[in-house]
Structure 1
């Protein structure tokens, strides 16, 4: 009977041991499955982030090239104006003199109005700043339209 009790206790210990190991195995499997699911989500997020960064860099490169082109054209115009090859015209009109007495002090000829020499650098600075602002706005619009919609939503 003692031998039977010993075998029974041994079998119960083995059964509890196997039950404990089975529970640990199931817990390990569940943790493994959760880790694989998280890894898959992280890979997808990394892929999307990479695509978004590439899109952002493409937008930046395009707008920077366009800005550099516009600035080069502006610099060429500045050099031509300084060399006297081109003139900066102003869209202006001169009002007609009111009386004969003011006509003598009026405009001698009706030539096209032109920027004064000291105002030309300001003009070119404004053109550069306008080009920069325009490209920045277009770049932000491109980013908002092409990159932002691809951002995954976070679910808490």
Structure 2
């Protein structure tokens, strides 16, 4: 009878050790997975920080482009800046003697605003393209190489 009891206890001990080994292996696997996920989260966080810094830098450039538009219009109105276009000078006072008193060519008031809009849009789009290029170079390529 004690033999059966000892055999049963030995069998229970073997099963308990086998189960403990299985749980230990499972715990090791889970610990490794947590380490991998933590490193991926850290890399993702770093990529987000890089993206945010690039975004802040180029949002500033876009704001500057928008804010410079009124100054450009004012400079065009006062003559500080000039726009050179191919134009014909229409005589202000046509004289029959063959001499003409031509007015200086200049942009119309609405064309000045259109020109300022185009310059601001160009600066804005340029800043966006450069920002996207930096994002691709610094975030996307770094993420795919890991």
User: Shared fold by TM > 0.5?
Assistant: yes
Specify which of 18, 25, 32 is matched with residue 27 of structure 2: 32
Any unmatched runs of 5+ in structure 1? Answer: 1-5, 96-103
Structure with more strand by fraction: 2
Aligned to 1:63: 58
3-state DSSP of counterpart to 2:51:
helix
The answer as to whether partners of 1:48 and 1:150 remain within 8 angstroms in 2 is: no
3-state DSSP of counterpart to 1:142:
helix
Following superposition of structure 1 onto structure 2, how do residues 132-143 of structure 1 map, counting pairs within 5 Å?
Answer: 132-143=124-135
The answer as to whether partners of 1:60 and 1:139 remain within 8 angstroms in 2 is: yes
Count, aligned residues: 138
* Higher relative contact order structure (alpha carbons within 8 Å, sequence separation ≥ 6): 1
Q: Report the CA distance between 1:135 and its aligned residue.
A: 1.1
Q: TM-score, normalised by structure 2?
A: 0.81
Give per-residue Cα distances to partners, 1:77-123, cap 9 Å, x unaligned. Answer: 223444x353542232659xxxxxxxx5x974373x42211222222
The answer as to whether partners of 2:69 and 2:120 remain within 8 angstroms in 1 is: yes
Aligned to 2:13: 18
Structure 2 Cα separation of the partners of residues 7 and 16 of structure 1: 14
Q: TM-score, normalised by structure 1?
A: 0.76
Following superposition of structure 1 onto structure 2, how do residues 1-156 of structure 1 map, counting pairs within 5 Å?
Answer: 6-82=1-77, 84=78, 86-92=80-86, 94=88, 108-109=101-102, 111=104, 113-151=105-143
Shift of the 147–31 alpha-carbon distance from structure 1 to 2, 3 Å rule, reads same
Which structure is larger by alpha-carbon Rg, 1 or 2?
A: 1
Structure 2 Cα separation of the partners of residues 116 and 23 of structure 1: 91
Q: Report the CA distance between 1:23 and its aligned residue.
A: 1.2
Greater mean alpha carbon deviation, residues 70-79 or residues 9-18: 70-79
The answer as to whether partners of 1:87 and 1:114 remain within 8 angstroms in 2 is: no
The answer as to whether partners of 2:62 and 2:128 remain within 8 angstroms in 1 is: no
Shift of the 138–153 alpha-carbon distance from structure 1 to 2, 3 Å rule, reads closer
Any unmatched runs of 5+ in structure 2? Answer: 90-97
